[in-house]
Amino acid sequence: MVRFSLNGVETEIAPDDMLLTRLREGLGKTATKVGCEIGRCGACTVLRDGVAINACLVMGWQLEGAEICTIDGLETLPAGQLLIKAMEIENGFQCGYCAPGVMMSLAGLLSAENTPTDAMIEEALEGNICRCTGYHSILRGARLARDMMKETHL
Ligand code: FES
Ligand code: FES
């Protein structure tokens, strides 16, 4: 078995198990969503060592020593609380299915860059498909989170 950290807790995965399958079916962590399973929709986005990745494209053998943060760990990240608050204020989501992936993509961006441009925000969300919002409310929420971060000097 391969050992990695999941939201700060040491966890195991078989080398030939997909991270997304391990999360949802093995560990019951269904907050991370499943969509295309081929890296196209972003529903399964998690952070690996702070960088947004698709959990459907990562196998267990690639995870030795990795630190994985999922939507379940979002609130522990510096930008997590602000992202949640900003999306609530802007009513960022409708059905919410894309939300875990979108939030983790934005958390990755805001961890690396606390004052991203609008273009950087849009680029960070290129891999996340939302079937409901037309993206406007999501982008408003993301920009508000960025502005709140600037104000709080996070
Ligand atoms: S389920 Fe992983 S990108 Fe769509
Ligand atoms: S809010 Fe429904 S898919 Fe994005």
pLDDT digits (tens, 9 = 90+) for 48-72: 999 999 999 999 999 999 999 999 9
In 3D, which of 73, 60, 59, 71 has the Cα closest to residue 3?
60
**Can you tell me which atom of ligand 1 is nearest the CA of 57?**
2
In the prediction, which pLDDT does 139 show?
98
CA of 104 to the centre of ligand 1 (A): 13
In the prediction, which pLDDT does 78 show?
85
Q: How far is CA 138 from CA 61, 146, 151, in A?
A: 34, 12, 20
**Do residues 132 and 82 lie in contact, with contact meaning Cβ atoms separated by under 8 Å?**
no
pLDDT tens-digit readout, 108-136: 999 999 899 999 999 999 999 999 998 99
> Is 17's pLDDT higher than 70?
yes
Residue nearest to atom 4 of ligand 2 (CA): 130
Domains parsed from the chain with CATH numbers: 2-72 (3.10.20.30), 74-152 (1.10.150.120)
Cα–Cα distance for residue pair 7/66, rounded to 1 Å: 11
Q: Cβ < 6 Å from ligand 1: which residues?
A: 34-37, 39-44, 54, 56
Q: What is the pTM of this model?
A: 0.96
> Is 82's pLDDT higher than 90?
yes
